A and B are shown apart, each in its own frame.
Chain A
Amino acid sequence: MTHTSSLHALARRAGAATPPAFAARVRGLSDRAVAWLFITPTIVLLLAINVFPLIWTIRLSFTNYRANRPNAPLRWVGLENYTSILSDPDVWHAMQTTAHFVVWSIALQVLLGFGLALLINRQFRGHGFWTTVILLPMMLSPAVVGNFWTFLFQPQTGLFNTIVAVLAGRDPSSFQMIGDVALAPWAIVLVDTWMWTPYVMLICLAGLRSIPDDLYEAAEVDRAGPWRRFWSITLPMVLPFLMLAVLFRGIENFKMFDMVNLLTSGGPGSTTEVASITLKREAFEKWRTGYSSAFAVILFVTVFGLANIYVKVLNGVKQR
């Protein structure tokens, strides 16, 4: 490994360049001190901006506090906020909407993303360039994406409606992607799939590239057909990667706010009101700070559960 030996040489040269007397003088800090000196600032920042607010949220969740009336008398309400959230039909509706969005968008992204990865892995000419092109949507700002898709979804003048109308032989003004109760939940699934399919694709591609060639060679010796090779080699080897992608997308889509807020802002009515939108309405429009804090705590707990599963899977992937 020429790379390694050149690094060795570099390190030795760097070492030789320092006068020993100077080095001895600044040697004061022990490794232990350096470790804490390096880690503490990050931990302090996270304690101040994440943990302290979280504790504050938990405290507020037991009160009737309203942020728009900071001087109103504060009353402790015990678990009242929690019980009313868990029995609030709007909250359950939001959870169902979120579930519909998460399940369908991820299912489509897995199918399309895995399919694309299998095709790209054929290594046709120019696959590197086209892969980069396909990756573009996921790098964009979800808010800006949600906004410009409202333009594409305009009933008469939007490009999406026009193309669908031409393909389906219907009038472009005969359907509304964002204004229609039946179609709006699919509009957000569609835009999310457009945006995040490349994410699943990229991770699947890494999985495919991790499969050693000799596995396929052995399968060829055993005269295994393409289907058999797919089910016994490709799929099991890619599965941990796919699961990682699904968990990441699951967590991201569970907390989805930006794209949906600008595309439909929860409408029409509350048909696309995912959990984060409901939370925003309660917290920043109705100013029910105590109530929305309790809702936030419930969402925290859910995401923490997901995060724990995620770390276990992540470790599983790493150990391979």
Chain B
Amino acid sequence: MSGATPITSKAQAWGRRIAGAAVIAYALVTLVPILWIVQTGFKTPSDAIAYPPKIVAEPSLEGYVNLFTTRSRQAPEYIAALPPADGWVDRLVRSRNMVVAGPSKFGERFVNSLVIGFGSTFLAVFLGTLAAYGFSRFKVPLKDDLLFFILSTRMMPPIAVAIPIFLMYRALGLTDTHLGMILLYTAVNVSLAVWLLKGFIDEIPREYEEAALIDGYSRLAAFRKVVLPQAATGIAATAIFCLIFAWNEYAFAVLLTSGEAQTLPPFIPFIIGEGGQDWPAVAAGTTLFLVPIVVFTVILRKHLLRGITFGAVRR
């Protein structure tokens, strides 16, 4: 069903227009929650929880300031006695009768998310590429069983996996460490990487390697110089999928980390202001957390189908 039909009747043209209108309507409705959160990040705390909800509000960076700082409330006399405010952040905070006490933990958590995300992605893609090539090109005994085993590890409920991992990490001293989280996410992601990359490598005709082997290449050299460049797009797409998983993961993070290695998903919901959740700050954190995902979704859109079905559906 590709390309334009040469003769389009009027009824078909109208049908197409109505279909378009319905899809666009759905898309706009589905966007509302996301846009609302982004906008809440730019509201003042009182506007964020105003009744009725404010669709138009005075833009404010207070949410972002609160996200990146910790503050302490002071008496007005104390603030009046301070030297003049240094920059707009200080002025904004002082206008709320507070002073900046220091940076918040958001930066650290963001760095943790990056370190654990990239570390586990690198390992999973590295191991996954090797294994996928092995499964794709060689006669491996029990190949189907091994592949099924690799896939099935992904299907266990994370909480069920977390019980023994919690005990194991406690015994090994890996609880709340970057290394522990990287290893765990690598193990979860490697199954996706093997299945996706096997699909990509299966599509590279064997003849190229065979030609290289005849020309005197070793297996390893043929893999490195012929297969890897051909699989580059597939490897990149797989890496982005692994990165998104590690970036979004919550269950293991909330059960196995508390400070040192905590990532953003268990952190963002519990940004507390005076009197409960600080919604503009939570929304600001959520926005910064979602931006990379939106970018990756756009980059990945041609490979999404493959990624979400473990390579079962390709087009």
Contact = CB atoms under 8 A, between A and B. Distances in A.
Contact of A307 (B152, B283, B304): B152
B308 A262 contact: no
B160 interface: yes
Contact of B309 (A140, A203, A276): A203
A211 B149 CA distance: 32
Contacts of B289: 141, 144
Interface in B80-132: 127-128, 130-131
Contact of B219 (A31, A119, A144, A149): A31
Chain B interface, DSSP helix/strand/loop, else mixed: helix
Interface stretch (A82-90, A102-110, A124-132, A179-187): A124-132
Interface string A289-320: 10011011001100110110001001001100
A187 B188 CA distance: 29
Interface string A176-201: 00000000000000000010011100
B244 A139 contact: yes
A238 to B, nearest CB: 12
13 contacts: A23-B218, A31-B219, A34-B219, A34-B223, A43-B146, A119-B19, A122-B20, A136-B30, A148-B286, A202-B308, A296-B160, A300-B160, A304-B155
Interface of A: 4, 7-8, 10-12, 14-16, 18, 20, 23-24, 26-29, 31-32, 34-39, 41-43, 45-46, 48-50, 52-54, 56-57, 60, 67, 116, 119-127, 130-144, 147-149, 151-152, 154, 156-159, 162, 172, 194, 197-199, 202-203, 206, 208-211, 213, 241, 244, 248, 251, 254-255, 257-258, 261-262, 275-276, 279-280, 283-284, 289, 292-293, 295-296, 299-300, 303-304, 306-307, 311, 314, 317-318
Given A53-B165, A134-B23, 19 more contacts: A49-B186, A52-B168, A60-B163, A116-B23, A125-B20, A133-B27, A137-B30, A139-B294, A140-B248, A141-B250, A143-B250, A144-B289, A162-B53, A202-B305, A257-B159, A261-B251, A261-B254, A283-B162, A299-B160
